Amino acid sequence: MVEAKIRLYVDHPLAVGQSIPLERDQAHYLFGVMRQGEGAFIALFNSRDGEFLAEVTQAGKRGGTLTCREKSRDLQMPPDLWLLFAPIKKTRTDFIVEKAAEMGAMRICPVSTDFTNSERIRQDRLQAHAVEAAEQCGGTYVPEVADLVKLDRLLADWDPERQIMFCDEALVGAAEVLGAVKGGKWAILIGPEGGFSDAERKRLHALPYAHAVSLGPRILRADTAAVAALTVWQQQLGDWV
């Protein structure tokens, strides 16, 4: 079987024999930056149909065409896990999105809390980071990055069947909580650097489906806490061996 070193997410149906037109920036990346040409093989995935080996059948400066030759991997959906986080500085916010995609979150929701420093995000830029991370990590699914929403509003419309694990000064370890609660649908909520406000903590602690957990004796930065919490969850309830 041919091996493709480049993986590309495309928003297009994929099947053997299917032709996929390339957008201008994809063509620039493949043919300009990566110096691929006609006859080269690229791995394509679209979050729906799995991964396909596609041949470059036409290469131009402003576009091109790939043709799917064979299916190389089935779609592997991540577990039904959302990551909710309060945006922080640009680099660290980018990292959180990248990490969440690598770690196998299904959906990434930036939330604005009482102590959130950053009141705006560039959803399109964050989504592009998630795409790039999925391309890099060999996943066949790109988590959707939602628009920034207030934590208040998010909780008002919350599906009570989705458990929330939130990191707070708790005395109970995350593994213990996950072992006791189980449940299929989950979200991990990472607070802002200043922590949750008293009102938010009170509200969260009162929700029957929200569970405070500890992530060790040191105070983790938000980006570290995101990866650590995703690790604990994936190990215990997710798709890790």
Q: Is 180 in the site for a copy of itself (CB under 8 A)?
A: no
Residue 82 CA to residue 146 CA, distance in Å, equals 10
What b/e sequence results for 49-75 when a residue is b if at least 16 CB atoms lie within 10 Å of its CB, and e otherwise? bbbbbbbbeebeeeebbbebbeebeee
H helix and E strand count, the chain: 7, 12
Dump strand ranges (E) for the chain: 7-9, 19-22, 41-45, 51-59, 64-73, 81-85, 107-112, 144-145, 149-150, 162-167, 185-190, 210-213
137 versus 199: smaller Cβ distance to a copy of itself: 137
Instruction: Return the residue of 12, 122, 176, 201 that touches a copy of itself, per CB under 8 A.
Output: 176
Helix (H, G, I), strand (E, B) or coil at 70: strand
Instruction: Return the residue of 2, 172, 181, 199 that touches a copy of itself, per CB under 8 A.
Output: 172
Instruction: Return the residue of 49, 102, 114, 200 that touches a copy of itself, per CB under 8 A.
Output: 102
CB of residue 188 to a copy of itself, shortest distance in Å? 13
Q: Is 128 in the site for a copy of itself (CB under 8 A)?
A: no
Site for a copy of itself in 194-233 (CB under 8 A): 214-221, 224, 227-228, 230-232
CB of residue 184 to a copy of itself, shortest distance in Å? 19
Integer angstrom CA distances of residue 125 from 61, 112, 129, 204: 24, 18, 6, 30
55 versus 176: smaller Cβ distance to a copy of itself: 176
Instruction: Return the residue of 104, 110, 143, 192 that touches a copy of itself, per CB under 8 A.
Output: 104
Residues 6+ apart with CB under 8 A from 61: 27, 28, 31, 32
Quick one: residue 140, left, alpha or beta (phi over 0 = left, psi -120 to 50 = alpha)?
alpha
Q: Is 179 in the site for a copy of itself (CB under 8 A)?
A: no
138 versus 184: smaller Cβ distance to a copy of itself: 138
CB of residue 160 to a copy of itself, shortest distance in Å? 27
Name the site residues for a copy of itself (rule: CB under 8 A): 76, 91, 95, 98-99, 102-104, 136-139, 171-176, 214-221, 224, 227-228, 230-232, 234-235, 238-241
